[in-house]
Amino acid sequence: MPPLRIAVLASGGGSNLQALIDRFNAAAAEPVARVELVVGGRPGIGALERAAAAGIGSHALQPREATDAGAWLDLLTQHRIDLVVLAGYLRLVPSAVVETFRGRIINVHPALLPAFGGMGMYGMHVHRAVLAAGARVSGATVHLVDERYDTGRILAQWPVPVLPDDTAERLAARVLAVEHRLLPLVVEALARGEVVGPPATDPVGFDLESRAAPAEGHVRSLLVLGERG
Ligand code: GRF
């Protein structure tokens, strides 16, 4: 099987992008996936520098392109992208792009969705809200992207304890470290056919059964709880 061709969209420093590059593009033999395109939510961001350093093609969205589904689809088609990964991309994906790539766009979010998600819940806003709510557990979520913020089906979560003396910055750093492990795991599982889209009527939940490739068209969720193996 040729490697799954990934586009990563980012609006910031791109540390999750780097985790994907390290896992797949720098891998020695027969990677199951490769980052083939990096799309920056704006010019001049760290994610675009990381793409250049890794020799990966990139494109900085001009303001008018962010909502231009045609421009997105041209770009994704030109690069023959199989999977779109939002890693710190802060805007909504144009709905025609969601429609075309439904089930093939994922996002990483720095909390345990469905809690602490939605419009405005990004970056430090998330971690401050977690602390303000007195939550004892936070974590990272990877989910399918739909037309709204953070509401698509959850594919995987990794809990992180909230410590009594946590600040938003400390909690953010611990969650980010987990994101760097969870996101490549999910991409790898998708590339191996181990996670596929769940039946739309199924409530959000987790299926801890077999991780074997499911029957075509059937979707299983993957729950990753802490250390594996
Ligand atoms: C991560 O916390 C991710 O969950 C959120 O934005 C942040 C991106 O960080 N969506 P980075 O740009 O990958 O370092």
Model pLDDT, residue 192: 85
* pLDDT tens digits, 95-153: 999 999 998 999 999 999 999 999 999 999 999 999 999 999 999 999 999 999 999 98
Q: Give the mean model confidence (pLDDT) for residues 69-90.
A: 96
Query: 215 CA to middle of ligand 1, Å?
Result: 33
Residue 82 has pLDDT above 80, yes or no: yes
pLDDT of residue 193: 79
Q: What percent of the chain has pLDDT over 70?
A: 84
Q: ∠39-169-206 over CA atoms, to 5°?
A: 65
Q: Which helix (H) or strand (E) holds 106?
A: strand 105-109
Torsion of CA 109, 153, 71, 59, to 10 degrees: 30
Q: Report CA(88)–ligand 1 centroid distance (Å).
A: 4
Both ends of the chain: CA-CA distance in Å?
A: 25
Specify the pLDDT at position 221.
Answer: 45
Span 61-81, mean pLDDT? 96
Asked whether 117 lines ligand 1 (CB < 6 A), one says no
Active site residues: 109
Please indicate whether residue 179, judged by its CB atom, sits closer than 6 Å to ligand 1: yes
Residue 176 CB less than 6 A away from ligand 1: yes
Task: Give the model confidence (pLDDT) of 165-181 as tens digits.
Answer: 999 999 999 999 999 99
Top pLDDT among 170 and 202 is at 170
Question: How far is Cα 28 from Cα 91, in angstroms, rounded to an integer?
Answer: 34
Confidence of residue 195 (pLDDT cuts 50, 70, 90): low
